[in-house]
Amino acid sequence: MDLELSGRVAIVTGASKGIGLAVTRTLLDEGVRVVAASRKTTPELEERGGIDLLHVPVDLMDPDAPGHIVARAVEEFGGLDILVNNAGGPPPGVALPRFSFLAPTDDDWRVMFEFNLFSVVRAVRAAIPPMLERGGGSIINVSSGSARLPTAMNVDYSAAKAGLNNLTKALSEEFAPQGIRVNTVSPGPVRTAWWTEEGGAADIIAAHAGTDRNSVMDQIAPEMMKLSTGRLVEPQEIAEVIVLLASPRSASTTGADFAVDAGFLKEI
C-alpha cells in the first residue's frame, strides 16, 4: 500500500537507536526526508546517510533544542509535515526502574518531566507554525502503557506519560480543524537500549530478582508484566504504527492512543 508520504519532511527525536531508528529507516523507505535528532549519531543511523537524511545533534534537556531542530528542518528541507516525539524514557544519566514512590526526589521528578513532557511541549510549539504554513501535518507522541496502568514502579515516568496523553488530546482538539492531527502510540516493554544496555532495566531487575539479564528479557519481564504474546515488543513493530499515523491514509485519526504493547493493557 502506498502511504502517500514521498517528498514529505519529518522530524524524529531519539532517532539514533531503538524505536526512533526504526521509525527513521521506515520513513526513509517511504520517500520521506528525515531530520534525525539525537545527542549522538550511531553506525546504524549513519548507514542510512544520504541527501534525504539530516542528523541534528541535540540534547533535549536544553530548552532551546526543539526549536533548533525545527529550524534546521525548515532550513534544509523547506518545511515540516511530520513530527515524531519519540525521545523519552530514562533521562540522560538516569537508570530505571525505580521500585517505589519514595525513591525519586524532587529533582528526579523535575528531570523526568523535563525529558518526557516539557521537551515535547517545546517541540510541538515550534513545529505547529511551519506545519500550518503547509496546510497541516501529523504529530505522533510516543507515550507508554504505564500512563494508563500506573504502579509503584517508575511512578514519576508514568505520571509524565499520563500528562503527555492529556496534552495530545488537547492538541488534537485545537488543531484538527486546521489540518494537524495529533495521536499517541503507547508501547509496552520494547527490546531497546533501555532494557538491553549494561546497567539498564534488565540488569536492575536481574539484580533485584537474583537472576541474569537474558532470563529477565526472555521470561521474567514478560511474565511480570503479563504480556499476552509472551515476549517483549520489537522496535519495528512500533515504527509500523507510527508511520501509518504519519500518513494521509490516517486522515481521520486524531486524538487517538494506539497500544502496541504485547497485550500489556488488559482493560477495555
Cβ atoms of 85 and 132 within 8 Å: the answer is no
Cβ atoms of 183 and 172 within 8 Å: the answer is yes
Residues 6 or more apart from 212 whose CB is under 8 A from it? 206
Taking the CA atoms of 150, 155, 157 and 159 in sequence, report the sign of the dihedral they define. positive
Longest dimension (CA), the chain: 56
Q: Which amino acid is at 92?
A: P
Say which of 157, 175, 194, 258 is annotated catalytic: 157
Q: Which three cell numbers stand for residue 232?
A: 517483549
81 belongs to the catalytic site: no
Rounded Cα–Cα distance for residues 225 and 189 (Å): 9
- What phi and psi values does residue 138 have, to the nearest 5 degrees? -135, 130
Rounded Cα–Cα distance for residues 229 and 46 (Å): 33
Rounded Cα–Cα distance for residues 99 and 106 (Å): 16
Query: Which residue numbers are catalytic?
Result: 157
